[in-house]
Amino acid sequence: MPNLAEQYSLSEQQYLAGEPNSPIKHEYIDGGVYAMAGASANHNLITGNIFGELRNHLKGQPCRPFTSDMKVKIGSRYFYPDVLVDCADYAGDDQFTETPTLIVEVLSKSTRRMDETTKRSSYSQIDSLQEYLLIEQDIVDVELVRRRNGWRSEHFFMGDQFTLESVGLTLSVAEIYDRVKNADVTEWLLQQAAQAEADAPASMTAATHTAATDQPS
Protein backbone atom coordinates (compact mmCIF):
# COMPACT_ATOMS: atom_id res chain seq x y z
CA MET A 1 0.00 0.00 0.00
CA PRO A 2 1.26 3.53 -0.68
CA ASN A 3 3.20 5.31 2.03
CA LEU A 4 2.29 8.94 1.47
CA ALA A 5 5.23 10.08 3.59
CA GLU A 6 7.61 8.64 1.00
CA GLN A 7 6.67 10.42 -2.20
CA TYR A 8 8.74 11.79 -5.05
CA SER A 9 8.22 12.58 -8.73
CA LEU A 10 9.35 10.78 -11.89
CA SER A 11 8.22 10.66 -15.47
CA GLU A 12 6.18 7.61 -16.45
CA GLN A 13 9.10 6.32 -18.52
CA GLN A 14 11.52 6.71 -15.61
CA TYR A 15 9.12 4.89 -13.30
CA LEU A 16 8.67 1.94 -15.66
CA ALA A 17 12.42 1.69 -16.28
CA GLY A 18 13.39 1.82 -12.62
CA GLU A 19 10.61 -0.15 -10.93
CA PRO A 20 11.79 -3.66 -11.92
CA ASN A 21 15.16 -3.02 -10.26
CA SER A 22 13.81 -1.37 -7.10
CA PRO A 23 13.98 -3.36 -3.83
CA ILE A 24 10.76 -1.58 -2.79
CA LYS A 25 7.55 -1.56 -4.82
CA HIS A 26 6.07 1.82 -5.77
CA GLU A 27 2.73 2.96 -7.13
CA TYR A 28 2.62 5.75 -9.68
CA ILE A 29 -0.16 8.33 -9.44
CA ASP A 30 -0.27 11.46 -11.57
CA GLY A 31 3.51 11.83 -11.68
CA GLY A 32 3.98 11.01 -7.99
CA VAL A 33 5.80 7.86 -6.93
CA TYR A 34 4.64 6.29 -3.66
CA ALA A 35 6.60 3.62 -1.79
CA MET A 36 4.56 0.61 -0.70
CA ALA A 37 4.39 -0.01 3.04
CA GLY A 38 4.78 -3.47 4.60
CA ALA A 39 1.74 -5.62 5.33
CA SER A 40 0.52 -7.19 8.58
CA ALA A 41 0.01 -10.89 9.30
CA ASN A 42 -3.76 -10.48 8.93
CA HIS A 43 -3.29 -8.73 5.59
CA ASN A 44 -1.12 -11.56 4.29
CA LEU A 45 -3.49 -14.24 5.55
CA ILE A 46 -6.53 -12.66 3.90
CA THR A 47 -4.64 -12.13 0.65
CA GLY A 48 -3.42 -15.72 0.71
CA ASN A 49 -6.89 -17.08 1.45
CA ILE A 50 -8.45 -15.18 -1.46
CA PHE A 51 -5.65 -16.02 -3.88
CA GLY A 52 -5.75 -19.70 -2.90
CA GLU A 53 -9.50 -19.97 -3.49
CA LEU A 54 -9.19 -18.22 -6.86
CA ARG A 55 -6.19 -20.29 -7.95
CA ASN A 56 -7.94 -23.57 -7.16
CA HIS A 57 -11.18 -22.47 -8.79
CA LEU A 58 -9.56 -21.13 -11.98
CA LYS A 59 -7.10 -23.98 -12.52
CA GLY A 60 -7.20 -25.02 -16.18
CA GLN A 61 -9.30 -22.00 -17.18
CA PRO A 62 -8.25 -18.99 -19.29
CA CYS A 63 -8.60 -16.54 -16.38
CA ARG A 64 -5.57 -16.29 -14.08
CA PRO A 65 -5.16 -14.87 -10.57
CA PHE A 66 -2.17 -12.69 -9.72
CA THR A 67 -0.84 -11.48 -6.39
CA SER A 68 0.46 -8.02 -5.53
CA ASP A 69 3.53 -8.18 -7.77
CA MET A 70 1.40 -7.51 -10.87
CA LYS A 71 0.61 -3.87 -11.58
CA VAL A 72 -2.61 -2.50 -13.08
CA LYS A 73 -2.28 0.40 -15.53
CA ILE A 74 -5.07 2.96 -15.82
CA GLY A 75 -4.02 5.81 -18.08
CA SER A 76 -0.77 7.04 -16.57
CA ARG A 77 -1.51 5.53 -13.15
CA TYR A 78 -0.02 2.24 -11.94
CA PHE A 79 -1.32 0.36 -8.89
CA TYR A 80 -0.42 -2.93 -7.20
CA PRO A 81 -3.72 -4.58 -6.17
CA ASP A 82 -3.46 -7.24 -3.48
CA VAL A 83 -5.06 -9.78 -5.83
CA LEU A 84 -6.40 -9.51 -9.37
CA VAL A 85 -7.83 -11.82 -12.01
CA ASP A 86 -7.14 -11.27 -15.70
CA CYS A 87 -8.80 -13.24 -18.50
CA ALA A 88 -6.92 -11.70 -21.43
CA ASP A 89 -3.87 -13.15 -23.16
CA TYR A 90 -0.49 -12.10 -21.77
CA ALA A 91 3.25 -12.39 -22.27
CA GLY A 92 5.35 -14.07 -19.62
CA ASP A 93 7.43 -10.95 -19.01
CA ASP A 94 4.51 -8.50 -18.71
CA GLN A 95 4.93 -6.13 -15.75
CA PHE A 96 1.38 -4.78 -15.78
CA THR A 97 -2.09 -5.44 -17.13
CA GLU A 98 -4.78 -3.11 -18.42
CA THR A 99 -7.53 -5.74 -18.54
CA PRO A 100 -8.35 -7.09 -15.06
CA THR A 101 -11.76 -8.70 -14.55
CA LEU A 102 -11.64 -8.71 -10.74
CA ILE A 103 -9.58 -6.63 -8.29
CA VAL A 104 -9.22 -7.30 -4.55
CA GLU A 105 -7.82 -4.87 -1.97
CA VAL A 106 -7.30 -5.63 1.73
CA LEU A 107 -7.90 -2.49 3.79
CA SER A 108 -6.08 -1.08 6.79
CA LYS A 109 -6.21 2.22 8.65
CA SER A 110 -3.35 3.58 6.56
CA THR A 111 -4.69 2.46 3.18
CA ARG A 112 -8.49 2.71 3.50
CA ARG A 113 -8.77 6.24 2.15
CA MET A 114 -6.67 5.45 -0.92
CA ASP A 115 -8.45 2.15 -1.62
CA GLU A 116 -11.94 3.62 -1.18
CA THR A 117 -11.40 6.87 -3.10
CA THR A 118 -8.49 7.19 -5.53
CA LYS A 119 -8.29 3.52 -6.41
CA ARG A 120 -12.04 2.95 -6.58
CA SER A 121 -12.44 5.90 -8.93
CA SER A 122 -9.53 4.74 -11.09
CA TYR A 123 -10.56 1.08 -11.17
CA SER A 124 -14.11 1.93 -12.24
CA GLN A 125 -12.63 3.40 -15.45
CA ILE A 126 -11.24 0.01 -16.53
CA ASP A 127 -13.55 -1.31 -19.24
CA SER A 128 -12.83 -4.96 -18.46
CA LEU A 129 -13.35 -4.70 -14.69
CA GLN A 130 -16.55 -6.34 -13.46
CA GLU A 131 -16.06 -6.46 -9.68
CA TYR A 132 -14.02 -4.74 -6.98
CA LEU A 133 -13.73 -6.50 -3.60
CA LEU A 134 -12.61 -4.57 -0.51
CA ILE A 135 -11.84 -6.55 2.65
CA GLU A 136 -11.28 -5.09 6.11
CA GLN A 137 -8.55 -6.78 8.13
CA ASP A 138 -9.13 -5.23 11.59
CA ILE A 139 -12.86 -6.05 11.60
CA VAL A 140 -15.02 -8.45 9.61
CA ASP A 141 -16.52 -6.55 6.69
CA VAL A 142 -16.38 -7.60 3.04
CA GLU A 143 -17.55 -4.97 0.55
CA LEU A 144 -18.32 -5.97 -3.04
CA VAL A 145 -19.06 -3.48 -5.81
CA ARG A 146 -20.13 -4.56 -9.28
CA ARG A 147 -20.27 -2.80 -12.61
CA ARG A 148 -23.71 -4.24 -13.35
CA ASN A 149 -25.03 -2.60 -10.16
CA GLY A 150 -23.58 0.80 -10.98
CA TRP A 151 -20.73 0.18 -8.51
CA ARG A 152 -23.14 0.18 -5.56
CA SER A 153 -21.82 -1.48 -2.39
CA GLU A 154 -22.93 -4.80 -0.92
CA HIS A 155 -21.58 -5.81 2.49
CA PHE A 156 -21.09 -9.33 3.84
CA PHE A 157 -20.25 -10.56 7.35
CA MET A 158 -19.48 -13.80 9.21
CA GLY A 159 -22.00 -16.49 8.28
CA ASP A 160 -22.64 -14.94 4.85
CA GLN A 161 -21.79 -16.27 1.42
CA PHE A 162 -21.54 -14.36 -1.84
CA THR A 163 -20.64 -15.07 -5.45
CA LEU A 164 -17.94 -13.39 -7.47
CA GLU A 165 -19.87 -13.39 -10.71
CA SER A 166 -16.86 -12.33 -12.78
CA VAL A 167 -15.23 -15.71 -12.14
CA GLY A 168 -18.18 -17.83 -11.00
CA LEU A 169 -16.78 -18.46 -7.50
CA THR A 170 -18.94 -18.62 -4.36
CA LEU A 171 -17.07 -17.77 -1.15
CA SER A 172 -18.00 -17.71 2.49
CA VAL A 173 -16.79 -14.83 4.64
CA ALA A 174 -15.44 -17.43 7.07
CA GLU A 175 -13.14 -18.77 4.31
CA ILE A 176 -11.76 -15.29 3.69
CA TYR A 177 -10.99 -14.75 7.40
CA ASP A 178 -9.64 -18.25 8.07
CA ARG A 179 -6.91 -18.03 10.77
CA VAL A 180 -7.17 -14.21 10.87
CA LYS A 181 -6.95 -12.72 14.35
CA ASN A 182 -9.25 -9.81 15.15
CA ALA A 183 -12.05 -9.23 17.68
CA ASP A 184 -14.87 -10.03 15.25
CA VAL A 185 -13.34 -13.35 14.18
CA THR A 186 -12.66 -14.31 17.81
CA GLU A 187 -16.25 -13.52 18.83
CA TRP A 188 -17.67 -15.54 15.94
CA LEU A 189 -15.47 -18.55 16.73
CA LEU A 190 -16.58 -18.42 20.38
CA GLN A 191 -20.22 -18.29 19.29
CA GLN A 192 -19.69 -21.28 16.98
CA ALA A 193 -18.03 -23.25 19.79
CA ALA A 194 -20.84 -22.40 22.23
CA GLN A 195 -23.46 -23.43 19.68
CA ALA A 196 -21.67 -26.71 19.01
CA GLU A 197 -21.51 -27.40 22.75
CA ALA A 198 -25.21 -26.61 23.15
CA ASP A 199 -26.11 -28.89 20.25
CA ALA A 200 -24.01 -31.80 21.54
CA PRO A 201 -26.35 -32.97 24.39
CA ALA A 202 -29.33 -32.89 22.03
CA SER A 203 -27.43 -34.99 19.51
CA MET A 204 -26.36 -37.46 22.19
CA THR A 205 -29.93 -37.74 23.50
CA ALA A 206 -31.24 -38.39 20.01
CA ALA A 207 -28.56 -41.03 19.38
CA THR A 208 -29.32 -42.75 22.71
CA HIS A 209 -33.04 -42.76 21.96
CA THR A 210 -32.43 -44.26 18.51
CA ALA A 211 -30.17 -46.97 19.96
CA ALA A 212 -32.76 -47.84 22.61
CA THR A 213 -35.59 -48.18 20.12
CA ASP A 214 -33.41 -50.38 17.90
CA GLN A 215 -32.89 -52.95 20.69
CA PRO A 216 -34.78 -56.26 20.19
CA SER A 217 -37.78 -56.69 22.51
How many domains is the chain partitioned into structurally? 1
Q: Are 141 and 112 in contact (CB under 8 A)?
A: no
**Residue-wise pLDDT tens digits, 70-129:** 999 999 999 999 999 999 988 777 889 999 999 999 998 888 888 999 999 999 999 999
33 located within any domain: no
Which parts of the chain sit beneath pLDDT 50?
1-5, 217
Q: What is the pLDDT of residue 212?
A: 52
pLDDT at 91: 77
15 inside domain: no
Side-chain-side CA neighbours of 186 within 13 Å: the count stands at 5
The residue range of the domain holding 132 is 40-71+80-206
In a domain, 28, yes or no: no
- pLDDT of 2 reads 47
In the chain, the amino acid numbered 165 is E
Distance of CA 28 to the CA centre of its chain: 21
Q: Is residue 10 part of a domain?
A: no
Residue 24 inside a domain? The answer is: no
User: Would you say residue 35 lies in a domain?
Assistant: no
In a domain, 14, yes or no: no
pLDDT at residue 204, rounded to an integer: 59
Model pLDDT, residue 208: 54
Structure confidence at residue 200 (pLDDT): 84
- The CATH number for 122's domain is 3.90.1570.10
